[in-house]
Copies of this chain bind each other. A is one copy, B any other.
């Protein structure tokens, strides 16, 4: 089994109430790939510039991520994002975005990347996502997006959503996309566009899964130290799709596995936010993941008991 991810490979400069970092390795594809690498074989696709060095590649390779489809653009500069968070860390403030090599990016998937069973289309322009989807023979493709594309390229995004199996958006974005204030109605309207699986991400409040079988909701892990939320959604997606790929569920029809995948997504997102950039996830062990999954089960488990009078 294998999982291909296309998205940004970036340098992020981030300031939060708990510190700041300059030009950390980041980007949707990087956060996704690192999280997914604990579960399955991952292939990463995206452009970088001359400033992307061997030490950055090494972070990915050390996790067994195939980097052959990272396209090195000579004389280019890697995508750059600068942002900060106030005390309410559910909301990122963007201070600067340099598309750099991403402005001219034309995805070209190698044969191996095309043949992965699963595909994750990180948050990039919908037309690029469609281009990649056409090249891929994945039986299960998931797509992330953002308010920017809903506002500026709505029609393309809706076509792109019609060509994938799983949509992963923030709950507010799902409401915006469908113009439905109620989340259940928004998810149903989204499924009518094509996807058989819809995941509504809710930041610190967790996430909700919608399929034809019904819905599944989980709170977020309760964390005492949240230092940098950048990449939490991509880490969630990496845990979610990585687990699904590992158990060879290339469709939305195994309710049990989808629920377990949601739990792993939450676990990976919870690690991501505990430190800056990729610092926590890149040094994570499988035992830590297993421990946190158990903690998450304890956090959310209750037994049904009848009314007694």
Contact = CB atoms under 8 A, between A and B. Distances in A.
Contacts of A301: 259
Max count, chain B CB within 10 A of own CB: residue among A220, A226, A309: A309
A52 B113 CA distance: 72
A303 B243 CA distance: 14
Nearest to A187: B222
Contacts of A214: 298-299
B219 A308 contact: no
A224 interface: yes
A247 B308 contact: yes
A277 to B, nearest CB: 21
A289 to B, nearest CB: 7
Interface string A209-234: 00000111111101111100000000
Nearest to A17: B181
B290 A294 contact: no
A297 B304 contact: yes
A309 B219 contact: no
Contacts of A38: 307
A152 B18 CA distance: 31
Nearest to A175: B87
Contacts of A39: 307, 309
Interface stretch (A20-28, A74-82, A130-138, A200-208): A200-208
A103 interface: no
Contact of A182 (B224, B289, B294, B298): B224
Contact of A307 (B182, B289, B297): B289
Task: Tell me which of A222, A262, A297 has the highest count of chain B C-beta atoms within 10 A of its own C-beta.
Answer: A222
A297 B302 contact: yes
A95 interface: no
Contact of A217 (B260, B286, B300, B303): B300
Interface in A149-187: 181-185
Interface in A82-100: 87-88
A53 interface: no
Contacts of A286: 307
Interface in A24-51: 38-40
A256 interface: yes
B294 A304 contact: yes
B309 A246 contact: yes
Contact of A303 (B205, B223, B226, B260): B260
A177 to B, nearest CB: 16
A308 B293 CA distance: 14
A305 B260 contact: yes
6 contacts: A38-B307, A215-B222, A216-B299, A218-B300, A260-B303, A263-B302
